[in-house]
Each structure stands twice: as structure tokens, then as C-alpha cells.
Amino acid sequence: MRRKRRELEIFSLYFLDGMCCAFGAVIMLLLITKAAEPRIIEQARADGHGLIAALQEELFEIRGETEQLERELKGTEGDRRRADATIARLQADLGRIRGQYEASRAMEPADGLEGELRATRQRLTEEMRRLLADYRPPDNDATVGGIPVDSEYIIFVIDTSGSMFQGPWRLVLRKVSEVLRVYPKIKGIQVMNNNGRFMFPAYAGKWIPDSPTARQQIMNILATWNPYSDSNPAAGIAEAINTFYEPGRPVSIYVFGDDFPSGQVEAVARYVERINQADASGNRLMRIHGVGFPTQFSGGYIGNGMRFANLMRTLCERNGGTFVALTTLN
């Protein structure tokens, strides 16, 4: 019994020593932690401020790079638009050059002004012009100088560009007057330029009733009438057909011009054919006649004049009309 009591006492002493050491260690840890806590918090705050500053600096750099990219993108878009405009201009130039080349191939080569106009369907000679003023077709002949005059309504589509107005305009007035004299009795007249602009806005889309007073008024205004024109008769022809066609109404369109600077002859001819449709017998909605003035030949722009002659010869041939190429401005 005495031996057991001694063992118990020894164990209890060791246990108490261990517990005291443990408590002491805990107290020391608490003291150390408590003393280091303010430094840790301050360090954490400093690190946080540094991180925020670094992030803000990075954000500013990203914004700067974004603005630079946006400027580069806008510059690229501007370059692309300029490149597209350049491509479109070059394509237009290419189409014009191709048209001139095709027109020159279609024409029969010859020397002199008459040789260059030889490929046109008909030339009005001095004798024909002299007879035209007083000639009246008999009942069994509906043509004058090869031009059918069987229509009850006529529409003039006149090129009012600078080369026409500043050049052969007096000759234009004379030819319009001659055409009117060829039709002593008709039901309606209209006058527009090749861009489809009407001479009389009050009669836009309506026929001008034929009378000596109306004819004289047309000639008076035509003497100084020069609205903008691009020398392409397609728009005026389309306006005339779309506005004034009615079944059973015979109409003739007279196109006056001197050059065709842009576009392709075949493309314009097909465009007019789609509008001026043919019936089962091949007759078109309206006849299309043409009168060409040789101003481009005397001015040195032979290619444009040849292309106009080729265009009008094609249009007149496919639309039941006749093309007259004047060989002189006198």
C-alpha cells in the first residue's frame, strides 16, 4: 500500500509541472501576438494601399492603350473608306475606257470627219436639210428624210450640257423648229433635258397641248434653257416612257446630243429595252429617234462623239427609230 501511494504522488507532480508550462506558453503566445498585431495591421494597410495604387496605374495604362487602339481603328476605317472611293473611281474610269475601246472597235476606221461618222445609220445632207423645211409627206409615205413621222405625240430629250449650250445651240433651235414643222398637227408635246428635267414644271407629267402659241413659247424658252446635264440620255428616255406611255398612243422621242462621256453603250441600250418593251410583233412602246451634233469632233473629243453616235445608232435601231448625224455646225 505504501508503494502505490508514492507512485501516485510522483505522477501528480509531473502533471502539475506540465500544466504550468503549457499555461505559461499560452500566456507568452498571447503576449507576443498582442504585441505584433498593430504591426501586422499597419503592414496589411500599407500593402492594400500599394495594391490599389498599382491597380489604378494599370487601369490608366489600359485606358491609354484603349484610346490609342480606338484612334488607330478610326484611322483604319478612314483609310478603308478612302480606298473604297479610290476603287470605285478606278472602276468607273475602267468602264469608261472599256466603253471607248468597244466604241472605237465598233466604228469603221476612216480618215476625216465623214469617215468617223460613216458608221452612223444615216447622215442628213445639205440637200435633205433644205428640203426638210417645206416637205410634207404624202398619205402613203410616213417618213421625212428616213425618219417616221407617224406619231401623234412627240417628246424632245435634249442634252443641255456646256458643250451643247455653248456650241451648236442655235443649230439645236433650228432642228427643233424643223422637227415641229414636220408634224403640223399633233395632240401633245413635251420638252425635257437628258436628265429628265421638264422645261415647263407646271406641265411635268402632262402633255403640253399643241398650238402655234405653245410652239413659239417652247422656242423662246429653249433659246436660254440650260439646266444641269450629265450628257447621258438614259434618264430622260426612261422618264419619258414611264410617264407618258399609254396603250394605243403613238409617241416619238427625239434625243438631241453630242457626246456620251461615261457608261457603256450596251448597258444603256439594254436598260432602255427593259423599259421600252416590245409587243408580240416586235413594236416598242415608243419610237426613239436621235440627232447627233459634231461638236466633239471639232473640239478634239472624238471618242466621246463616236460613243454617242454608237449609242444612238444602237438605241434607234432597236427602238424603231432613225439616227441622223449632222456633219457640220453650219
Query: What was the pLDDT predicted at 140?
Result: 41
Strand partners, 201: none
In the prediction, which pLDDT does 187 show? 93
| Residue 152 · residue 186 · CB < 8 Å | yes
**What pLDDT shows up at residue 102?**
54
Q: For residue 314, what pLDDT is reported?
A: 93
Give the model's pLDDT for residue 298: 61
Residue 263's pLDDT is 80
Helices (H), the chain: 2-106, 112-116, 126-132, 162-165, 169-182, 212-222, 234-244, 265-275, 295-299, 302-318
pLDDT score of 119: 40
Residue-level pLDDT at 146: 52
Q: Which residues of the chain have pLDDT under 70?
A: 1-15, 33-46, 92-93, 95-149, 297-301, 330
The domain made up of 112-325 has a fold known as Rossmann fold (3.40.50)
Q: State the pLDDT at residue 208.
A: 95
* pTM of the predicted structure, to 2 decimals: 0.58
Domain limits, the chain: 1-106, 112-325
Determine the pLDDT at residue 44: 65
Q: What phi and psi values does residue 208 have, to the nearest 5 degrees?
A: -85, 120
Q: Nearest 5°: phi and psi at 289?
A: -110, 160
pLDDT given at position 143: 52
